[in-house]
Structure 1
């Protein structure tokens, strides 16, 4: 196992619900390292990184990442995984919080880790947010979206 793979595997271990060590996770990053939640267009740096972990663990206290495949390409580590857990905390959305449902989630995800000198410089998480929301019972309201588009088109 390469040093870069060891760093990434340690990051996953520290992010587990039964461990949850945000400070240790943050320490694996370069000083200016970033954690990018790609589906939600959110970037976390510095002290925001452990806060992001704590926020997710607050929603899914038993959060677990099932690593399916790990591929190392020099300073890039690509991981196929599934994010799993139980929805026991309020899930924040722009429209308000989704109250705990007790539903289990099992979300397909691909992560790309970019390392520099044994530290994480950039972590890009591509989780299937649509699958996560569907598993919480928050399916898209396509009818409203279509109606809003029709209304906007008639104003032009």
Structure 2
């Protein structure tokens, strides 16, 4: 897992080095998500990196009934992760990422709930790892989800790595 997280750290380093203009102009989260995905593609050779991907093989990605996360996108609160690293055809789900800006004042419950469900090994679309990234102009806060819960050890490790590159 730390190998994959190191790739995310490398992508974040390049993202912050190349995309400072976006932070200076206070662009929306979807723009940041797309540009981060571009940098992730360079790190995850042999994997597909997609934004708002809504499939698992031929099936539509849907959350279990009764969850707080909608499966339609009428209000922009879909189940679809902001960024996924996966193999589309197999399907093989490596990493699901939810991105927020520090200026987003909506409660984070929606994104956190999605990551718990997306990494739950008892659900058919389980991702090996989930990342919750809060992007500031010069820093990144993060949590790592494994098995449907926040993994405190991996979260602390990632925070340390982000600190090592000046994003902590």
Same-fold status (TM-score > 0.5): no
How does the TM-score come out when normalised to structure 1? Answer: 0.27
TM-score of the pair, normalised by structure 2: 0.26
Higher relative contact order (CA 8 A, sep 6+): 1
Judging by fraction of residues, say which structure has more strand: 1
